[in-house]
């Protein structure tokens, strides 16, 4: 779908209707073909596809995914994907899991806890070992926050990979700003700032806050001109994680198209509108509801 620009800025409500979302952490009912396809995607060249596959295999809960995820935990080049695998293997192990498989999972998690280059993966491995009753070899993690007094959302720096240095420099802060403003509109009770700077886990626990992390990437900003009309299309991916450990549990994509004039000013405004529309809709319709569900808020 597309939007046609007038000389006035497009409204927040009109933009929301053009955003096409593909939410990868909301999966279809478990089927063998779904699991097999997702297992294949664990070897995809795209980090985003591998991460989404790991998250969705966790949701599907099929034991066939345990060994492929153990392999990912030890070998994937992305810390985010390895962290997702550490979460997945612990969740997939249940009382029906064979002792040999469970032992392999525990051994892989202990290896990651001791040797992984990423502090994020080390932390998640420790948590997963604790969840399996195997005990981590690290220093341990603080008690989980309950969120009884509130929710803190840390918004990441965002990234832009359009290939246009000027556009990338403009879009990164714009995405942070839109994310912050949208959270303020639709979830004013969620804090995006903290007195004294960025809170530690201990500080969140002390105040009874639950922490979440949101970050995103503008993957494509495509401009197509035909005569006096220009179509701007954009594609954005966003992730949702706990904070401050940044254990990823949600991954989603969105895209939109905006039609406008062909002048440099119109193209810039159309680009801004396209990115804003996607970020607003992802935050308002997917990220905020997911945070509330995760935090146990009705």
Q: Any idea what DSSP says for residue 199?
A: P
pLDDT digits (tens, 9 = 90+) for 118-169: 988 898 888 888 888 876 444 343 444 444 569 999 999 999 998 889 899 9
What H or E segment, with its residue span, contains residue 136?
A: none
Does the pLDDT at position 11 exceed 60? no
Give me the pLDDT at residue 74, please. 92
CA angle 287, 60, 251 (to 5 degrees): 25
What confidence tens digit (pLDDT) does each residue in 64-113 have?
A: 999 999 999 999 999 999 999 999 998 898 888 888 888 889 999 999 99
- pLDDT given at position 168: 92
Phi–psi pair at 170, nearest 5 degrees: -80, -35
Residue 60: pLDDT band with limits 50, 70, 90 = confident
pLDDT at 236 over 90: yes
Which pLDDT score, from 0 to 100, does residue 289 have? 92
Residue 2 has pLDDT above 50, yes or no: no
- pLDDT number for residue 35: 86
Mean pLDDT, all residues of the chain: 83
pLDDT of residue 175: 96
Domains for the chain: give ranges and CATH numbers.
12-23+145-295 (3.30.160.150), 32-131 (1.25.10.10)
pLDDT in tens, 251-285: 889 999 999 999 999 999 999 999 999 999 999 99
Whether pLDDT at 287 is above 50: yes
3-state secondary structure (DSSP) of residue 178: helix
pLDDT mean over 179-195: 93
Residues 129 and 141: beta-carbon distance below 8 Å: no
- Strand segments, DSSP code E, in the chain are 20-23, 150-155, 159-160, 190-191, 209-226, 229-242, 248-261
| Total Cβ atoms within 10 A of residue 184 | 11
Confidence at residue 149, expressed as pLDDT on a 0 to 100 scale: 67
For a pLDDT cut of 90, what percent of the chain falls above it?
52
Q: Give the span between the Cα atoms of 178 and 185, in whole angstroms.
A: 10
Q: What's the confidence (pLDDT) of residue 153? A: 96
């Amino acid at each position: 779908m597309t939007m046609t620009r007038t000389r006035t800025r497009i409204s927040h409500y009109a933009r929301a209707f053009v955003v096409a979302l593909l939410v990868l952490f909301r999966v279809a009912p478990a089927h063998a073909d779904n699991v097999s396809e997702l297992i294949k995607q664990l070897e995809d060249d795209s980090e985003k596809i591998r991460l989404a596959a790991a998250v969705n295999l966790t949701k599907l809960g099929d034991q066939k995914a345990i060994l492929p995820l153990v392999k990912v935990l030890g070998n994937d080049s992305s810390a985010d994907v390895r962290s997702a695998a550490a979460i997945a293997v612990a969740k997939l192990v249940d009382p029906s899991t064979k002792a040999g498989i469970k032992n392999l999972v525990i051994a892989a998690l202990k290896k990651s806890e001791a040797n992984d280059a990423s502090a994020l993966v080390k932390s998640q491995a420790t948590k997963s070992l604790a969840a399996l009753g195997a005990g981590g070899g690290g220093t341990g993690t603080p008690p989980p926050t309950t969120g009884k007094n509130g929710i803190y959302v840390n918004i990441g720096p965002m990234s832009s990979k359009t290939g246009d240095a000027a556009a990338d420099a403009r879009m990164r802060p714009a995405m942070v700003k839109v994310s912050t403003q949208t959270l303020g509109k639709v979830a004013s009770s969620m804090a995006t700032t903290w007195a004294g700077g960025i809170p530690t886990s201990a500080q969140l626990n002390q105040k009874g806050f639950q922490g979440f992390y949101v970050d995103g990437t503008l993957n494509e900003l495509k401009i197509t001109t035909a005569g006096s009309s220009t179509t701007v299309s954009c594609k954005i991916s966003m992730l949702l994680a706990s904070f401050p450990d940044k254990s990823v549990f949600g991954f989603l994509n969105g895209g939109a198209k905006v039609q406008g004039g062909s002048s440099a000013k119109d193209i810039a405004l159309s680009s801004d509108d396209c990115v804003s529309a996607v970020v607003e809709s992802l935050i308002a319709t997917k990220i905020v509801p997911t945070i509330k569900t995760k935090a146990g808020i009705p």
